[in-house]
Structure 1
Amino acid sequence: MPRYQQIARQLKQAISDGELAAGSRLPSSRTMALELGVARATVENAYGELVAQGWLDRRGQAGTFISPSATTGANNPASVASHPQGAPRPFQMGLPALDAFPRALWARIMGRRLRLQTRYDLVMPEAQGESTLRQAIAEYLRFSRSIDCQPEQIFITPGFQAAMRLVTHTLAKPGDGIWLEDPGYRYVRPVFDDAKMALHPVPVDDEGMQIEYGIRHFPNARFALLTPAHQSPLGVALSLPRRRQLLDWAVSNQSWLIEDDYDSEFRYHGKPLPPIKSLDGPQRVIYAGTFSKSLFPALRVAWLVVPQQQVEAFSRHTHLLPCTAPLLIQQTIADFLREGHFWRHLKKMRLCYSQRRVWLEQALQQQGFDVVPQAGGIQLVMRVRGDDRGLVAKARAAGLAVQALSDWRMVSQGEGGILMSFTNLTSQGMAQQVAKQLREAIT
C-alpha cells in the first residue's frame, strides 16, 4: 500500500477509535511530514483522500479539521453504516475518483482567474457559454476526437439534462419519436417525457444498438439518442457497420442523432472507434459531452456541438435556456484544458481506473461472482440469476449503492445484473472488504 494510504488509514482508525475528536485541528502537512519522516506531498495526499471521503474538512488558512460527521458510528468503524456523511457510498455510480483529482492545482488555477477578473466579468455572462471555454473545447475535440468544429457550434449547459432540454426546445415537437437504448441511461427519459415525445426502446446486443430493429419498428422517428463509444450500462461499443447504417437512416429520414460521449476517454485496451460526429458529413449529429465524469460532477458543466446550419436556431433558444454555470468555473475549466492539465489528468486516471477495476473484478470473483468483461469505462456489470431488483434492495439496505440492471430496461428482457462503480475503491483491501459485504448482504 502506498505510504499516503497507510497514513490515511491510520488517521481513520484514530478517528473511529475516538483518539481524535470531532472538530479538532490536525497538524499542518509540513509539521506532520517532519514528525513522520516523509515528504510533505505524501501527507497532502493522505489529507486530500480523507477530505474527499468526508473524514476531514479543510478551512483555508485555519487548517485541516476532523469532520463532525466522521465519528458517527465510531463504535463500529468497519460498518458501511458508519460511512462519513457526504462521502461516496461503496459502488456509487456516476462519480470519478474523488481522491485522485488534483485539487491543489485546481485551486491555484481558480485563484489566479479570480485575481485577474475585472469589473467587466461581473456582467451577465454569455448565454451560449464563456467564449474561452468554447474555444478550448473545440481545440480539445479536434485533436482528441477528430471532430472538426468551430467555437460558435458549441453550447455550454449546466449538466447533461439541461443539454437535452436545449435540444428538445430547439428541434423537437410534441409527438416526435426518439430511439432510446434498451437498457439505457434512465435518468434522461423524463426530459423527453416533458417534451411530450414518443419514447421508442431499441434493444442493445454485443454490437450496440440494433439499428435494423429501430428502422423496422420505428422508421419515422425524428431522433436517436445513444452512447456508441461505451454503451451505458452494458459497456459495448457500436460497431462501425452499424454507425454507417445509423447515419444513412438519419440522412434518408432527415432525423437527428444525439451522440452521448460520456466516458470515451476511459478506455483501457486498444483505440476507441471514431465518434459518429467525426463521420458526420451530412451534419445530422448533435454531439454531447460533460465534465462530470472526467473532472467532478459538482461542476455541473456539459456541452453540445451542433451542426453549423442549426447554430442560429440554438442561439435563439439559449435566451430562454441560458447557460447558468458560474463564469469563474467556466474560465477555470478553460485554463485547465488549454494548459494541458486535462490531458495529463486523463492519462493518470486511465491507469488508476484500470488498476481499480482489476481490484474489484478479482475481489468479486473471489466471492464467486460473475463479472462481464469490458474494455473501459468507470462502472461494471455483474451477472446474477433470479430477481436482480430483490438482490439490489438487500445490498442497498446494507449501505451499498449498487443498481439493478432491470431498472435500466424499458421493455427488453434479459439476464439480471448488478451495476456498480469501482472509481472510489482506493486499495485492494477496500475492494475485498466491500465485495465481501456484498456477498453477505445478498445471501
Structure 2
Amino acid sequence: MTTHQGVDKKALRRAYTASLSGTALEYYDFAAYSVAAATLFGDLFFPSGDDLAGTMAAFSTYAIGYLARPLGGIVFGRLGDVIGRKKVLVHTLMLAGVATFLIGLLPTYATIGGTAAILLVVLRFAQGVAVGGEWGGAVLLSSEYGDPKRRGLWASAAQIGPPAGTLLANGVIALLGALLTEAAFESWGWRVAFLLSAVLVGFGLWIRLRLEETPVFKAIAQREEQPSAPVSEVARTERRALVAGILVRVCPDVMYSLFTVFVLTYMVNELDMSRAQGSAAVMIGSAVQLGLMPAFGALSDRVNRRKLYLYGTIAAAIWPFVFFPMVSGGSFVLLALGIVVALVIHAALYGPQAALITEQFSPRLRYTGSSLAYTLAGVIGGAPAPLILAALLNWFESWWILGVYLGLTAVLTVVGLWLARDPAEEDEVAPAAEEKVLS
C-alpha cells in the first residue's frame, strides 16, 4: 500500500522511526546533562564552596549547548538544502553520540583541575552543534514522506524525541541512583548514563543508513532547484517567516526548561525534596507526553494550527501561578501532578510546532530556515532560561517572578503567531513519481 505520493507506507514508518530515534538520542544527551548540571556537575566540575555559584556555573555550561545550536543550524541546515536530508542527519547523529560518550569518560576537577571544566564546555558545545543541525532535518525526514495535509502528525516524530530522551535519561539516572550508594553514584555511576549513548547511536545509524533521500528533496534535486546560498537567501527573502519561527518557540523552550530542568534545583533547594523524587516526577510527565505529541500534532491537522498554539501559549502563561502554590507543601503527588499538567500544556505547543515552523518556509529552503528558527530561538529562550530563573529566584526570593518571566516569553510567542502564516497549497513540491524510496 502507498501514500498519496506513491511512497510505500513501510518507508513512511521507517522515516518516522528514524526521525524519532535520532532526536531521542540527542535529547537523551541533553537531558542527561540537564539532570547532572542541576544536581552534580556544580561540585564535580565547578567547585567553589558556594552552592549557588556552582549551580550557576553548571547551568552556564548547559546554556552553551543552546548557544552552539545556531552554528549547527547554519552549517548543517545549509548542507541539508544543498546535498540532502539523509546525509546530513547521519553526521549529526554521530557527532552528538561521540560528544556524549566522551563526557562519560571525562576526568573531574579533582583529577585535572580547571581543564575538566574546559573540556566539558567543549563537549557541550559539540552536543549543541549536533542538535542544531538535527532538528530541521529530522522534521523533514518524516514529514516529506507523508501527506502535507497530515504534516502535523508526521512532523511530530521529531517532537517525541525530547520527552523520550528525557524519560530515558531520567530513568537511567534514577535507576543508577537506586542501585548505587550516593558516594558511588557521584564517583562513577553518573558516567554510565553518558556512556550508554553509544547503544542509541548504533540503533539510530542502523535505521538512518537504510533510508534513501526524501521524495521531496529528490524532486527538488531532479529539477536542479537546490539553493546555492540558502542562509543568505532565507535572510533576504523569508525574513518574516524566520522571525515568526523564532518567536513561536521562545515560550515553549522556557516552559520546558522551567518544568524539567530548573524544577529539579527548586525542589531540592527550596522544598527539601530528594533528587530521586524530582527525576520521578519529570519521568511521569515525559511518559504522558510520548502519546500527546503526535496526538496534538494530528489535532493541528484538523483545526487551525496557529489557534491551537495560541490556546496552549495562554495556558503556559497561567500555569506557574497554579503550580508553585500547589507544590509549596512538598507533596510528591502534587509535584508529579503539577509537572504532568505543565508537560501536557507543553505538548499542546510542541506537538504542532514542527509543522508550524517548517511550513513558514518554501520547500527548497526548509532545512535552513527551520534550523535557523529553531536554533536562534534557543539562544533567546532555552539557553538563558535556567540561569535567569535561578538568578530571579535568588534576587526576589519568591516563585511569582518565575511566572512573570514565563508570561513575558508568552507575549513574544503570541507576536510570532501573529506574524506566522497558514500553509499554502502552492508551496508543496510533487515528488518524482518514478522514484522508489527504499531499495
TM-score scaled to structure 1, two decimals? 0.26
Greater percentage in helix: 2
TM-score scaled to structure 2, two decimals? 0.26
Relative contact order higher in (CA < 8 Å, ≥ 6 apart):
2
Q: Which has the larger radius of gyration?
A: 1
